[in-house]
Chains A and B, each alone.
Chain A
């Protein structure tokens, strides 16, 4: 039995209204690669943030025992001093600095008063060689690809004398070849440097490829830890751990809703990433939705769901968009959100603070923002009418607020979501695309949002609900599309859907895809 390097004992972390971690235990042995798997919001990243001191000591309960002693990390520096280094999903590199400068940012080489650049670059080259990167350490970060940037992150971590390296979704923005190279590097570092690693990933095939132990996190608790070193753990086995929970009647039923004609139809829709223009984020997707119907789109984060929705909504995301969009059977081209709204579309964003609401404005102003024409004559706003409208929606959606003049920034997440919905309901669309409509809000508010969705369907609207919560998708939809890695990989009636067969759709494709066309990708890269 190897020495236990890290033990997290009964960690509990609470956010307002949500218990993100509930009595979590995690044991990591020296020299192993330990995988954390779980659905979105299961608490994996939270756990790692507790470990690395991002959530400082005192904001959680429980103990962290590292290298035989109980640790109290107050910030990232504390944990890094002990050799715990975390690499986040979003790369934290400064594009206009060189690789070497980035690697020693905050850890500059040389004396207190003078940076020794020769030493910096020599050291940098040493660590770059360790991760197998041949670029000069004087190259600017912006000039190397994401795959290499990920390697720089690892080299940076090594330069901090990391003993325990945490990688949060390291391959989420990499293509298959780069992902494979990264996983191989992890194995090499384990073998040659004796590095201990924790990897968080959604890609189960990668997990079973690289991990010695797999811990499943679900709803803020660790469910089980499986040893995959000595025996093969099937992906189905992992999924069972991830989703094994009962769907209770957390979802209100829809009665007497008549499903009518096809309202919106999207055919062969393809979208490219706005920055990496060769990357497809939506690949040949065809979906449709009828009036009175709630269609769920399920997929893990980064599957391309938001990209699909936003590109439909007046091309507000992506480049090189191709495919047909038909509304009520008529082909339309929507070049801006404005046109999309006029055509009867609404997109309720997943990022309500970033893309949805003007937090420094009142409920009233947010409610009418997408349809100011509805409360004004020419350019002059009829304030009385506007007040009535805002008041009406506050009552209808039961938004908890002292008055419609309350700033939206002061509301809770659930009430903010209601204001966002009110805004789009007042725009009176035929098709509503709801992107993660219940993200980050508490159970009670979720139920109310579900009721609103049902009312919308009852009123003959078409609802497309994007969600990464399986029970929600199954409980609320009439029909479900399953999306993975930019493609629709399955479609089923909600009555036939189970958590297992939905997950199977995803696994089936990703397993087949990941390593089968690795070579083809390589050829592509070579051509570039």
Chain B
């Protein structure tokens, strides 16, 4: 039974564990660069579209492993139209609404063909992928359009100031880190600002002296390395120290992070009490506490990191809104329930009095709207639009769903899975970029990650079936032997 429990645990949290391992591996490879506040922030803004499109894709995949190939083209089309409108000085809220409506229309179009005419989704959306890309090119005339509307960029996560504003305070933790670095260099542990600054000055002097300096040459030869290497090491220490000493934190971000973390804990406790009061079965206290503590810590850590750069990126707020909304839809509404039912067994669902066509239609319509919204985020992030934007986005979204545990046959998957899938892909992308892995190798690695994720799921399922068979065999033997025994009597 113990082994079984471990397998179950692994099944449930495998991708989460994988993510933690990947984070650690990249942090080690890149000397912690991937964990710099600026990189955490850009990880979120860069991958905003994957979260949004992955959410929509999940709806389609839930209905029976159906995918939408057109999302990249729709992002480009909606984005292109929006960018053109904004360059013509049409107010950005109007442009955003038009983009969303375009997404909606595309969704209705796909939904109609797929749900009511029964065109296979793969083909219907392949048509969309080609046609909407073409349409985007026609509308944009092959030109790129720049967006300079600060209001738009700030709200949807583009440009330099797309963050929730707030005052800054010096980072005390940064000073501690600086002190630790200082201890490694000088052998003296001190939090005194003057002394730390002294070390900085000394290091700066060493670097300034250059490779022809006799002292440096001697120091290098003592360590058994070349002068260049020695200087590079010193330079690295210098920049780390400087960064930690000058680190500042965005107060708004810290407060929001703290509120969310505390709010989460309070919610968990209250909800648990309510369930117990009603006499429902609840998860064991120990595992709940561990889970809560981990999530609490992750929220605080993220908030701290974000605060260390410029605060909460506006893109994050949009992601959170979309993910929250659709997590609610998939788990708490009849539409969500029907998505899972259709994917699990369409016939049974239809015979249960549910209009399965409507369910399919809704999935693709929502996907369309979300594609339009991804278009909004995309042109904001890139401050403009070109006819090639959005190429390959559909694959990122699909991969995020499958890595996150959605079944290729439909019926299983969750928004939580999409978050993990999208984040894992983003982390791998960014990690490899920072580690200077050539782009083509990055693609190979992503491919391997996807197959490993799916393979793991397949193996686990086979194992489960195998275990069941064994159980059956045992049962069988018992039945036969008891019957034989009976006959003897």
Contacts and interface: CB of A to CB of B under 8 A. Distances in A.
Q: Is the interface of B mostly helix, strand, loop or mixed?
A: helix
A333 interface: no
A317 B207 CA distance: 84
Contacts of A387: 280
Nearest to A372: B334
A403 B333 CA distance: 22
A113 interface: no
Interface in B262-295: 278, 280-281
A369 B349 CA distance: 8
B355 A338 contact: yes
A338 B345 contact: no
Contacts of B349: 358, 369
A403 B411 contact: no
Contacts of A15: 476
B351 A356 contact: yes
A316 B351 contact: yes
A511 B344 CA distance: 44
Contacts of A16: 472, 475-476, 479
Contacts of A372: 334, 337-338
Contact of A361 (B333, B340, B355): B340
B281 A358 contact: no
A53 interface: no
A361 B411 contact: yes
B340 A347 contact: no
A342 B354 CA distance: 11
A15 B280 CA distance: 37
Interface in B344-364: 344-345, 347-355
Nearest to B343: A360
Nearest to B345: A358
Contact of A383 (B332, B335, B343, B472): B332
B266 to A, nearest CB: 20
Contacts of B147: none
Interface in A337-372: 337-338, 340-342, 347, 349, 354-361, 365, 369-370, 372
B483 interface: yes
Interface string A368-402: 01101100100111011001000000000000000
A340 B333 CA distance: 23
A495 B259 CA distance: 73
Given A16-B476, A360-B411, A381-B333, A341 B353 contact: yes
A338 B351 CA distance: 8
B348 A355 contact: yes
Nearest to A352: B348
Interface string B350-382: 111111000000000000000000000000000
B102 interface: no
A381 B333 CA distance: 5
A138 interface: no
A24 to B, nearest CB: 15
A422 to B, nearest CB: 12
A526 interface: no
B155 to A, nearest CB: 29
A337 B337 contact: no
B348 A358 contact: yes
A39 B140 CA distance: 71
Nearest to A341: B353
Interface string A289-317: 00000000000000000000000011010
Contacts of B332: 380-381, 383
Contacts of B483: 19
Contact of B352 (A14, A369, A379): A369
Contact of B351 (A17, A19, A347, A360): A347
Contacts of A340: 353
B341 A365 contact: yes
B385 interface: no
Interface in A61-116: none
A266 to B, nearest CB: 19
Contact of A403 (B281, B347, B348): B281
B459 interface: no
A17 B348 contact: no
A206 to B, nearest CB: 33
B298 to A, nearest CB: 26
Contacts of A423: 352
B216 interface: no
B354 A338 contact: yes
Contact of A365 (B337, B475, B480): B337
Interface in A116-139: none
Contacts of B281: 403
26 contacts: A14-B476, A16-B476, A314-B353, A336-B353, A337-B350, A337-B351, A337-B352, A338-B355, A342-B353, A349-B351, A354-B345, A354-B348, A355-B345, A356-B348, A358-B345, A360-B345, A361-B340, A365-B337, A370-B352, A370-B353, A372-B338, A373-B334, A379-B333, A383-B332, A387-B280, A423-B352
Interface of A: 14-17, 19, 313-314, 316, 336-338, 340-342, 347, 349, 354-361, 365, 369-370, 372-373, 376, 379-381, 383-384, 387, 403, 423, 427
Question: Which 10 residue pairs spanning A and B have beta carbons closest together?
Answer: A358-B344, A341-B353, A370-B352, A338-B353, A360-B411, A360-B344, A358-B345, A369-B352, A372-B334, A337-B353
Interface of B: 278, 280-281, 332-335, 337-338, 340-341, 343-345, 347-355, 407, 411-412, 472, 475-476, 479-480, 483
Given A349-B348, A358-B349, 9 more contacts: A16-B475, A338-B353, A340-B353, A354-B348, A359-B344, A360-B340, A361-B411, A369-B348, A372-B337
